Structures are given as structure tokens and as C-alpha cells.
Structure 1
Amino acid sequence: MSAVTLFALPALSADAQPAGPAAAHTDKHVLLISVDGMHQSDLDWYVANHPDSALAKLTHGGSEYTDAATSNPSDSDPGGTALMTGGNPKSTGIYYDVEYSHKTDEPGATCTPGRPTTGGDVIYDSPDDAMPSVNDFVNPANGTFPSFDENGSIFAHGVDTNPAAILNLKNDASSFNASTFPVDPATCKNIMPWDYLGDNSIFQVIHNAGLRTAWSDKHAVYMSFNGPGSNGQSIDDYFGPEIDSQAVMPNGVPYPQDDDWAHIDAATKQYDGYKVQAILNEIDGRDHSDKTQVGTPAIFGMNFQTVSVAQKIRSTPATLIGPDAHGNYTTSAPQPGGYQWVDGQLVPGPVLSSALDYVDAQLGSMVSKVRQDGLAGSTTIIVTAKHGQSPQDPNKLITVQDGPIISAINAAWAQQHPNNKSLIVAGTDDDLWQSYLSDNSQAACDFVKNYLWNHTAQGYDVNKKPVTVQHSGLTQIWAGSDAAKFFGVSADNGHYPDVFGEVQEGIVYAKPTKLAEHGGMNTGDRHVLMVVNGPSIPTQVESTSVETTQVAPTILSVLGLDPASLTAVRAEGTQILPGLAAPRTGR
């Protein structure tokens, strides 16, 4: 048996992307790739150790930005929204993929237009799938998963026996269980993900210019990138197979680890491979399913999950092996995830190194397809990341469960306020702290802040040995009006976390099963790669600090459209990436 290669890597010639004088014209296509979790340090290490790789050629033949930072917070969302709008939470209103708002009503609650809002959860995540409850294929007693196709349009009752058929998936409003969405108190209607977004998106601008748009991501809810008022129609071809569904090998047999696509790195590569195939089909000028000739999109792309999974999981198989003579598959033996110290240097471990190899091979196949189809002279490729991951050094890891801390805060509050026994009503704490309060007065916010700062929490180090951390694992806390100032919004905005905290480097609020997490504010969370390569792009290494928000106006500029047509660009003054504002010659 041999390791399965989902997509062969065609030969990538040394002149795959020109590095000479920039062409004085705008491009027709932009291919945007987010390698979720990938740091600038990962790019540096990979290029140094693989000088003939696709990543090396894209980097050395284009513009590399060595000090690029994600949105803050750095979760998948708002990280993804930053790329698509040019905005931070200040203007987009997107603080996390699982958040809360004092300005909405709770899903399912009684709503009367004109009455004060109840406040409610704002959850745009996989539980919103139209089919969120498919029985575990291996052992139904273990529980359920969301369906791979989200809406039951491909697999009857969500039973997935031919995963490659996912390419036939059509994502639209039928992919959602909209009753789980927050409710607009003015209309008493559930708010679709694209309408919760506070800014328009590149897909709206490009679609309205009469150009084709496409995107592929890990959840259907990232159709939010269509933008407000779009009715979900700005992305002409959206492909979002559900990553939280049960992982199934190519022959339809569940992975023996009995988990989802995001917890077995061999499965994550298979999952990402379907999105890669969608991109290759789109480069060929067909829709993602390869069924209809529609023309190569002006803007298209995908996110890779393989690197992020490899960074987070302690031990996982990295390779799918097969098929054997009987059509069966198996996986390689589990290997360590994350980073390792080798000869005094922190480097990717075996699973992460394999993940980087995989991503590089797939980028190479995309570049080769662009060249084969005669599009190299009209296509710009941008490689960056929605988020990083922290900590990189496993010796800094301390996992702390946030549940006991929240319960203790609520109990302490209830002693003083017997009529309000739940002060903290929502929040997501990955490697940051976010609390939404039932009483969001300054006094209540300060109560939570003071408790967190004076609380000693119990956690576990990377070896799962108990340790004690000060200040609940936090290094700085913003509460009430200070939190509003941090995000640059008014105190009565209602969407931002009432209490927001930066963790001590290495703190992850989770059970001691993870090596890292994303969402926070440390360097590992936010310092990501940024490479732009195309016929009009100069060859340069730029050390000026940039943000991933600058990708959106840059894309519009490359396509000859007005960056100022993005509301976030106007509201936040987001600039085009340095050196790309107008065509210029390379060094």
C-alpha cells in the first residue's frame, strides 16, 4: 500500500510567476488562499528548507510582507470577514463566530416590534446547519454530527457513503436552520448571516461590476461574505462542505478514529482536497462541481484547514493510505502534532511538516493549472491566513477550563444580587476572554474584571501536570467603557464583549487535549504570512507592518475597481498593501 495522493502536483517550472517588470495593466482574476493557522515563521522555515517549493517561488517572485497581522480578535471570524471587507470589528460588527448582542432578541423568544430587546446569542457556526443531527456512523450511541452537505441535498438523511459526491453540493439559504439565528427586534425575523455584517464585501462590489465571484470555506455560514442586503446572491458559486461532520474515507467507510474532519489530520487533507478540486475546476472556467462552463471567476479562492489542525492536535495520523487491492483504506500511525524543539530551534513537528508539504503541493497544482490554461498573465495569487495559532512553543502551554471560573463569578454575583443569579450569560474563551453580561452596567463589568484579576485558576501544562496561574490566566482586561474604547465603538454599541481579556502567552481555555488555539491577541495568534504574486506585482520584501484587512482593497485595486467602494475602507481608512497602489517595476 502507498500513501494516497488526492491531487497530483504537475511540474512547476522556475518561471511559474514572472519576477521582472510589472505589467501596466489590471488583472482579470485574483485567487485568494487562506492557510488558516500559518505564521510568517512557518513560511520562513518552509522556504528555507524547501527552496524549490511552490511557496518559495510565489514568495521570491512577488511581494512578501513579513510583518502582517490579522484582525483582533483573531478567530476564523472576524479573521475571514477582515479579508473580505477591509474591516475590523469596529465597522463590521463581527467580534467572533459565536458571540452575543444586547441589540438582538434571542432565537425562539417571543418578539414584539418596538419593545426593548432581550439580548441574545449570535451564533453563526456549524450548529446552524439544516441537518445538524446525523447519527454517528460507527456507533450511534456516541451522539450526532452535522451533515457533510448541511442541507441533505447530496446524501439521503445525511448518510455519506460517497464523499466525493460533495462536489455536487449547492449552498444557499436551504443550507441553514435559520430559526437558530438571532432575531431582529424591529422585524421579529431571524437575521441571515450576510445581513448581520455591518460592511459590504468585495464579493458585492465585484459582483455588482458584472464579474463572476466564487469562494469555498469550512461552513455554510461563511456565506455571510455575500454582504448585507445581498440576499445571499453576491457569491455566484459558494462551496462550503461542513468540516464538523463525520470524517469518511474515499470508499465511504468512516475513519477508524470516529471523529470529524477537523480532528484527524489525514482526514483534513482529504477534506481540503475537495475544495482544491473546486478551485481547479473554477480555474478551468467551470463551476465548482465541474458541471457547467461559466468562465473563471474574477475573485475566487478557499481556506486550508490542514495546517491549523496539525498545530492543535497532540497526536494524529497524518496520511491516508490506500486503496489496497480490495479498495480499502487505512491511516498511518499517529504522530505528534504542533511544534518541536530540535537542536535549540522551534520547528514544525512531523504532522505539521506534512501539513505544510500538503498545502505546498496543492498550491503548486493551482499555479500549474493557471499556467496551463493561459491565465498566468492575468491572475494574481494572494496567500495569507485568517488567523495564526498560539502558543507555538509547547512548553508554554497551560490549559485552563473556563467553566469553573464563570460559575464562581456568577455565584459571587448572586450572593450580592439574589434576583440575578447569572451575570455572565455568554462568551467564547479560546485563548482570550470574552464575557457578555445580563447586567452590562459599568459596575457589573468591573465586578467581573476584578474577580478575574484576583482569581487564581488551576490548569495543566503540556505534560498534563497541574499548575496554578494568576489572574485567571489573563494579562490585561478591558471592562465596560474601556472595552468599547479598545474596539473603537460607542459604549452603547451593544455588540462588543462587555469584558474582554488578553491571556498570558500559552493559556488556552480548554480541556488538556489541545496544543494551541486561535482567537487571541498574542504574536502566535496574529502574525501570519502575506504573499502577493502576479504579473503586475513587484518583487519586494516589505517589513512595514500591514494588516489582513488590506487584502480587500488590494484585490479591488488589482481588478481595476475602486477600493473606496468598500464601506470599511472609508470608515477605517484601510490602505492598499504597500507597493501595490499602482503598477511599478520590480527590483
Structure 2
Amino acid sequence: MLGLESTGPSGKGVDQLFTPEINWVPADYTTNPYDCMKYDTLHVNAISNWLMGITWDNKPFTTPAIMGGNFQFYNATISGGYEADGKTPNQVLKDALNFIDDSFAQFYEAALKGGIADRTAFILTAKHGQSPMKPSQYKGIADTVVPAALEAAGIKAAKAAQVLMANASSLSIAEVLYGSQLQTGGYAGVSPTDPHAPDLITRVDVGVIYVGNPAHRTKSAEHGGINLHDRHVALMLSIPGKGYLTRHFQEVKTRQVAPTVLQMLGLPYDSLTACALEGCTPLPMMSHLLG
């Protein structure tokens, strides 16, 4: 979690870094979502302090221009987030959403106390979703089966893709992307010859989670895939002085958050290396909201 006064490669951009370890001894907050809420509360209180002009440990502090953090509460649960219909939040998810809602209320109250509420924007989104949403779609598969198939095929992407698709049913693979398909699929966004790009990407059947021991179920949903529920997340933006609610149904991307923040600060967002390379722009509604 960061409080940023300035950005750039100077090495002096972070005013205060607050990163308590979630697995610290003697308390491991990952085993129970409600214990994890206690961990999240540490972050919430630290950000609230920054908004009021004090450090996380209650010392005088100049409020940073940019602050950020995350919530781990829901991600810690093994019970899944929805009832059998895959649409109705279960009690754990309801409690997680209410906790986040209360946390943003605390942020706003802190901004009021710090005298900056009229010039503070809030952005809430997620870096990933969780799949499956419907508990009955869960299918745990040993995480050794895909590497074993690739080792048998060799390491060439084209050959590996052929073998994986030939065994798609037993491996629960829906699609394999490699080469130019990574570009047209919009998943990698870089040249297939770039050594940093993956040689291939597999899209598994909805509900599939590769686990160490399929007989021992430790969770009902996971992230990291490229199916709909993995990639589609909510994004909410609150700008001071805009006292109305509006919904935008056009597709946007979370990578547009960073240039949006810079635009609100009056800084050139295209100076970000990622924006220059990928052509990402601020959220499309910003010109209307800031106008």
C-alpha cells in the first residue's frame, strides 16, 4: 500500500510504504476471511490517517497526492462468493462488500477532517475476478497434468498447442492461443517474438482450478484465467462536486485507471511508458466529468 507524492524513476516517489505481512506470526489472517478483515482494517486506518495528514503510526505528515491499497477480505474465503444460482452473493461476500462500503465511508470522513474532501477523487475496481461464480461448476484438476503433457510434446509452442488441444477433454482445456493468436486475442499485447511474451496461453473450461490434490478441496473459486468471470470486474469512480450517479456500459479496461489519475492531477498521462507503448488513454467519461 502506497502514499505517493510524486512518480518517476527517481527512487524518491514513495513518501510512506505500509505493507504489513498477511501471514505474519503468530497470526495468519488467510485462514479465515473474518480474520482477514482485521488485516484489511490496518490498511483502511492507514489510508484514513494519510487523508487526515498523519502517518499510519500517527505522526505529522503531508497528505500525498496519490494513495492506494487493496482489500483481501473476500479473497481469503474458501466458500465461494455466490449461492447455487451463481448470482446471489452468499453471506461472506455480502459482509465483504459491506465492509468495503463502510471503509470508503471512513475514507470520506477522513478526507473531510483533513479538509481535502472537495478535491479528492476515489476509484474502486479489482485487478481480477474469481471463477467459477456458480459453485456447481467447480472442477479441481491436479496441477501436474498439463506440465506432463507439455514435457511429452517438447517445448515448441505450436507442437505443444497441438498436443494440448488433442487432449483438451481430459485436461479440461477450452482453447490454446499461441503465435499471432496472442495478438488477435488481445491477451498479450506484444509481439510474439518478444522474449517476455508467453509462448502460449490456455483457456480452461469454466470452473476448472488446477490444484495440488483434487481430493482435498481448499477453495471454490480462483483467479488467473481468461474466462469472462476472471476478467470482467466493476469499476467505480467518485469525483468531488459530481453529486449524481451515472452508469456507463461501454467496455473499459483497468489499465485506464493510471492515466485517469494523472489526467485528474493535470499531468501528461502519455508520459507513462506503458501508455506510450500500449496507447492506453483515460476513461472515456473523464472529459464529461471534468468539463
Residue 573 of structure 1, aligned match among 266, 276, 279: 279
The 3-state SS of whatever aligns with 1:531 is strand
Aligned to 2:191: 490
Match of 1:514 in 2: 219
The 3-state SS of whatever aligns with 1:262 is helix
Query: Cα distance, 1:247 vs. partner?
Result: 5.9
- After TM superposition, the score normalised by the length of structure 2 is 0.87
Query: Following the alignment from structure 1 to structure 2, what is the Cα–Cα distance between the partners of residues 345 and 503?
Result: 19
C-alpha displacement of 1:513: 2.1
Map of 1:365 onto structure 2: 106
3-state SS in 2 of match to 1:535? coil
The equivalent position to 2:50 in structure 1, one of 282, 304, 312, is 282
| Residue 89 of structure 2 is aligned to residue 306 of structure 1 | no
One-letter code of the match for 1:575?
T
User: Do the aligned partners of residues 502 and 537 (structure 1) sit closer, same or farther apart at CA in structure 2, a change above 3 Å counting?
Assistant: farther
Q: Provide the identity percentage.
A: 33
Query: Is 2:240 aligned against 1:535?
Result: yes
Choose between structure 1 and 2 for higher RCO, CA contacts under 8 A separated by at least 6 residues: 1
AA in 1 matched with 2:14: I
Aligned residue identity for 2:81? G
Q: Which has the higher helix share?
A: 2
Q: Does 1:207 align with 2:207?
A: no
Aligned residues: 284
- The CA deviation at 1:408 is 4.0
Secondary structure in 1 matching 2:247: strand
Out of 158, 180, 185, the residue aligned to residue 446 of structure 1 is 158
Distance 2:68 2:189 in 1: 31
How far apart, CA to CA, are the structure 1 residues paired with 2:159 and 2:25?
42
Q: Is the 8 A contact 1:246 1:261 kept in 2?
A: no
Q: 1:407 aligns with which of 120, 133, 148?
A: 148
> Given the superposition, is the C-alpha separation of residues 584 and 479 from structure 1 closer, same or farther in structure 2, using an over 3 Å criterion?
closer
CA RMSD between the two structures:
2.5
1:381 pairs, out of 122, 131, 134, with 122
Please report the TM-score for the alignment, with normalisation by the length of structure 1. 0.45
1:501 aligned partner? 202
Whether the 8 Å contact between 1:384 and 1:530 is mirrored in structure 2 is: yes
Change (3 A) 1:454 1:488: same
Quick check: 1:554 aligned with 2:269?
no
Query: How far did 1:298 drift?
Result: 0.7
Q: Which letter maps to 1:522?
A: N
Residues 476, 503 of structure 1: 8 Å contact kept: yes
Matches within 5 A, 1:423-442: 423=154, 437=155
Q: Distance in 2 between matches of 1:366 and 1:272?
A: 13
Cα distance in 1 between the residues matched to 2:88 and 2:198:
35
Question: Shift of residue 485 of structure 1?
Answer: 5.9
- CA shift, 1:583, in A, is 4.9
CA contact (8 A) 1:261 1:271 kept: yes
**1:346 has 2:87 as partner:** yes
Question: Which amino acid is 1:572 matched to?
Answer: E
C-alpha change, 1:482 and 1:534, in structure 2 (3 Å) is closer
Q: 1:475 aligned to 2:174? A: yes
- Structure 2: any 5+ residue segments left out of the alignment? none
Cα deviation, residue 453, structure 1: 1.3
AA paired with 2:76?
Answer: V
SS in 2 for 1:528: coil
In structure 2, distance between residues paired with 1:345 and 1:508: 17
Kindly provide the CA deviation profile for residues 512-555 of structure 1, in whole angstroms up to 9, marking residues without a partner as x: 32211111111211111111112254732211111111111111
Deviations for 1:93-135, whole angstroms, at most 9, x for unmatched residues?
Answer: xxxxxxxxxxxxxxxxxxxxxxxxxxxxxxxxxxxxxxxxxxx
The residue type paired with residue 237 of structure 2 is: V
Shift of 1:282: 0.6
Aligned partners of 1:579, 1:536: CA distance in 2, in Å? 15
- Alpha-carbon contact 1:453-1:471 (below 8 Å) kept: no
Match of 1:196? none
Check the 8 A contact 1:537/1:580 in 2, yes or no: no
C-alpha distance in 1 between matches for 2:284 and 2:58: 37
Query: 1:359 Cα deviation (Å)?
Result: 1.7
Point out where structure 1 has 5 or more consecutive residues left out of the alignment.
Answer: 1-32, 34-170, 172-201, 209-226, 249-259, 315-336, 414-422, 424-436, 438-443, 457-469
Cα distance between partner residues in 1 of 2:72 and 2:203: 25
Is 1:391–1:517's contact at 8 Å kept on the other side of the alignment? Answer: yes
What residue number does 1:132 align with? none
Higher strand share: 1
Q: Deviations over 1:31-67 (max 9, x none)?
A: xx9xxxxxxxxxxxxxxxxxxxxxxxxxxxxxxxxxx
Please show how residues 22-171 of structure 1 align to structure 2 within 5 Å. Answer: none
Cα distance change, pair 516–577 in 1 and its aligned pair in 2 (3 A): same
1:526 aligns with 2:231: yes
